[in-house]
A and B are shown apart, each in its own frame.
Chain A
Amino acid sequence: MVIRAILALVVTAMLTGCGSQIEQKMLVMPLGADPSYLNPILYTDQPSAEVAGFIFSGLFRVNERLELEPDLCQSYTVHDAGKRYVFHLRQDVRWHDGEPFTAEDVAFTFERIMDPTTNTVRRSGYIINGKPITWHVVDRYTIEARLPESLGPFLFRAAIGILPKHKLADQAINTAAFNRQPIGTGPFKFHDWKSGQFVRLIRSDLYYDGPPQLPGILFKVIPDAQTAMLALKRQDVHMNGVLPKDYHRYETLDYLQMARWYGLNYTYLGLNLKKAPFSDIRFRQALAHAVDQQKIVDTVLQGFGRPAYYPSSPVSWAYPPDDQPLYAYDPARSHAYLQAMGYRRNAAGRYEKNGKPVSLVLATNQGNKYREKTAALIQQYLAEIGLDVRIQLMEWSALLKLTKDTSEATGFDMIVLGWNIGVDPDASSIWHSREYPQGFNFVGYSNPSVDAGLDAARQYTHRADRQPVYHRLFTQIAQDVPYLFLYHTETVMGVNRRVQGLSMPGPAGLMVRPESVYLTP
């Protein structure tokens, strides 16, 4: 009896499972995890960013060329050498609940970011030399920002998603129900969200640029990468990242096309500059000449990437024009440097000093196959020149704790890690000497001319002024070898051919203008 009932249920499900008209025209996207907060000032995770990007809009948005273009702001003027900005807002924008969007909402959003009781990690982005940027409503559609000092990345920071004051003014923002049923000004409005299952958005008929083409977007939570790949194959989702190992199997499917681009990222081998022998630049140069980056790209990434030479990305405008390795693969030079430092090879062919063979530890996080393989290859390259390396795979937070360990005895030697860098090239948090030991300059890099350059480039407001400074800075950093820059990975996205109206592939994604995306039948 029970079995018959279950069978009946299953058969019904198979028959009704084909879905409705809406489903046929909805864009379906996978999420690697449940989002945390659908609130632009609170989230820090990728899934939330992906979903919230469709719901909220900011003063600006990033276009395909990674430039800012006006979104909620129609135009702006700069005064007092970059210390005062006046933003003229669009007057035809309405929140998804019909309320008009005004300058009060913008002021409210930045006030909430500056409020210390808000659990946001964005606050320091709006503080310059200890003084906050302040926002002043001029009239209903004009708002002014006053900066204590001029700040190059300011407009990018000002582009954060704007929150509705009328919904949140009397709410405790950290725990507000709003964070799970948001209201924005973007092209899609929130419909519903089931934890661990899905988030559904439907098109906003109030969108200032006219309603989007798609009736809605369904985000399915699919944590397992293999299941997500099968979902792409089964056309359950319309796009999904494709790993190098799967590329050739999926490329041949006639209903898929592959979009490829370099992201704003690089993977590197960080060297502990505060510790011997890494404190000697000759040792670091010896390491740099010993590792063949192209080989790592070919084997670890199966060609889906390119060697990295600078702490930047080839798609960034700050990337130095001289796209060449400063330390090309040349083991003979490694030997020369090591011998100049007084190392001698022992009977086993290993370098030693005062009878003590060099022994190094290379740490990386367990579970990241690319980094594990990269570590193994580096170990092999260094063994080839006579340096003994032991690999230590660690759980993520244990590895992070190790990066904070400044002791000579227990601190790290070398670490394989990666950075996702922002669209704005300001790299002070990674390279400025004040970011050690607290901060992300955990290798302890310190170069006064780089410090000065970073501070200067942060203040310039025009790209033309900043660009040459970053070219010089990144070249200088690469010459100092605080890291061995290893590779930039290429992002490959398998996209169902039914999806049309996508933007040019790039770090800004394929849906820079989500309102123009549509599905063919």
Chain B
Amino acid sequence: MMGSISKRLLTMIPMILGITAVSFVLMQLAPGDPLAMMVDPSIHESDLAQVRENLGLNQPVWIQYWRWLLAVLQGDFGYSFVTGQPVLTVILDRLPATLLLSGSTMVLIVGITFPLGIWAGYKANTAVDHWITVLTFIGMSIPAFWLALVLLLMLSVQLEWFPLSGFQNYAVFEPTVWQQCASIVHHMVLPLVTSVLGGLAGLTRYHRSGVVGILNRMYITAARSRGVGPSRLLFKHVAKNAALPIITLLGLMIPGLIGGSFVIEYIFAWPGMGQLGVSSVFARDYPVLMAILVFSSLLIMLGTLVSDIAYQWADPRVGRTSV
């Protein structure tokens, strides 16, 4: 097993190189550059040319890529073209907000969909099942921007239960840790509800079909014939096996954790990675974009690797056949 892991880690190196090279070139192929966006009659073309030269943007793409790669190998991701800050600082500034929101979303979605899916699967094709399906699909079909605005209008503007936007109460200059945590949680409720409601349907259906499949297995029939009661059957025999695929799912969801949802972050002014990514694309902030790309591809690869390993550990049958 250790051998196969190191082999996979090794194959990640050329993959990362390939991904960065292709994206670097693609990014530069898109029209415009960090300076072309400035359309202001008081700015002259010669000024833009000088800054382009300072940033090295007048070099051929492959030289720019080579320089970038050499720097990155030494741990230097460069400076943002937009703010002049070190790229890692830019990203680390935005990461906590996104991790908090998407981590909470993931925990809530798994925590809600798993029992819901089991219930729907156990009661497959009954009224309960149909209602769960209909409600979760309504959640999925409502566009996030619309739901977000309705929540804001009702719960924030009308009832004033929740703050409108932002990460915490900015008017308090030196909050205590406790005040700060409370304020962040308070600000997170509406964005969290919006993102959770949209993500329920998929996983509920997934768990439901898993449970339906398990209920048809011979060992369930055997357990039933041995006289195992419905609750013991459901929680001991079904739930345990239905939980296995969650490991894979969690592994696949890890990369999504750092991406953040642009729509939700934008509407609620949540200071996360989704906003950073999109604004960096529009501003052609190449260093920030490349760093986001490197981290998310690394996470995707590591995420799949970890989930494969975890799956093998949880279900020894898998290890015998492949990896």
Residues of A within 8 A of B (CB): 6, 9-10, 12-14, 16-17, 19-20, 22-23, 26, 28, 33-34, 36-37, 42, 44, 116-117, 119-125, 174-176, 179-180, 191, 194-198, 200, 218, 220-224, 226-227, 230-231, 233-234, 236, 395-398, 400-401, 419-422, 427, 429-430, 438-440
> In the assembly, what is the distance between CA of A194 and CA of B92, in Å?
12
B230 in the interface (beta carbon within 8 A) = no
Q: How far is the CB of A74 from chain B (nearest CB, A)?
A: 27
Of residues 67 to 122 in B, which have CB atoms within 8 Å of A's CB atoms?
A: 79, 82-86, 90, 93-94, 97
* CB < 8 Å neighbour of A234 from B156, B271, B275: B156
> In the assembly, what is the distance between CA of A139 and CA of B86, in Å?
39
A-B contact pairs, 24 of them (CB 8 A): A12-B179, A13-B169, A17-B163, A17-B183, A19-B169, A19-B171, A37-B83, A37-B84, A119-B55, A121-B47, A123-B47, A123-B50, A176-B84, A195-B93, A196-B93, A218-B170, A222-B165, A222-B269, A224-B269, A230-B153, A230-B157, A396-B37, A400-B39, A401-B36
Q: Which residue in chain B gives the minimum CB-CB distance to A403?
A: B39
With A234-B164, A397-B284, A400-B36 in contact, is A22–B45 under 8 Å at CB? no
Are A44 and B40 in contact, with the CB atoms below 8 A? Answer: yes
Are B166 and A220 in contact, with the CB atoms below 8 A? Answer: yes
> In the assembly, what is the distance between CA of A27 and CA of B210, in Å?
56
Most buried by A among B35, B38, B149, B271: B271
Residues of chain A within 8 A (CB-CB) of B189 are: 10
> In the assembly, what is the distance between CA of A200 and CA of B46, in Å?
35
B229 in the interface (beta carbon within 8 A) = no
B276 in the interface (beta carbon within 8 A) = yes
Q: Which residue in chain B gives the minimum CB-CB distance to A439?
A: B45
B237 in the interface (beta carbon within 8 A) = no
* CB < 8 Å neighbour of A44 from B38, B266, B276: B38
B317 in the interface (beta carbon within 8 A) = no
Most buried by B among A22, A196, A421, A430: A196
Q: Which residue in chain B gives the minimum CB-CB distance to A23?
A: B171
Are A397 and B36 in contact, with the CB atoms below 8 A? Answer: yes
Q: Across the A-B interface, give the 5 residue pairs with the lowest CB-CB distance, nearest first.
A: A397-B32, A196-B271, A13-B186, A23-B171, A124-B44
Most buried by A among B50, B161, B268, B275: B50
Are B275 and A427 in contact, with the CB atoms below 8 A? Answer: no
Residues of chain A within 8 A (CB-CB) of B83 are: 34, 36-37, 179-180
> In the assembly, what is the distance between CA of A17 and CA of B182, in Å?
9
B60 in the interface (beta carbon within 8 A) = no
Known: A22-B173, A195-B93, A430-B41. 13 other contacts (CB 8 A): A10-B186, A16-B172, A117-B54, A119-B55, A120-B47, A123-B47, A191-B173, A222-B165, A222-B166, A230-B156, A396-B282, A400-B31, A400-B36
B277 in the interface (beta carbon within 8 A) = no
Residues of chain B within 8 A (CB-CB) of A195 are: 90, 93-94, 271
A-B contacts at CB below 8 angstroms, number? 199
B152 in the interface (beta carbon within 8 A) = yes
B199 in the interface (beta carbon within 8 A) = no
B181 in the interface (beta carbon within 8 A) = yes
> In the assembly, what is the distance between CA of A222 and CA of B163, in Å?
13
With A17-B183, A397-B30 in contact, is A44–B170 under 8 Å at CB? no
Residues of chain B within 8 A (CB-CB) of A13 are: 169, 179, 182-183, 185-187
B167 in the interface (beta carbon within 8 A) = yes
Are B170 and A197 in contact, with the CB atoms below 8 A? Answer: yes
Q: Which residue in chain B gives the minimum CB-CB distance to A33?
A: B279
Residues of chain A within 8 A (CB-CB) of B160 are: 234
> In the assembly, what is the distance between CA of A248 and CA of B171, in Å?
30
> In the assembly, what is the distance between CA of A236 and CA of B157, in Å?
10
Are A236 and B164 in contact, with the CB atoms below 8 A? Answer: yes
Residues of chain B within 8 A (CB-CB) of A197 are: 166-168, 170, 269, 271
> In the assembly, what is the distance between CA of A27 and CA of B168, in Å?
18
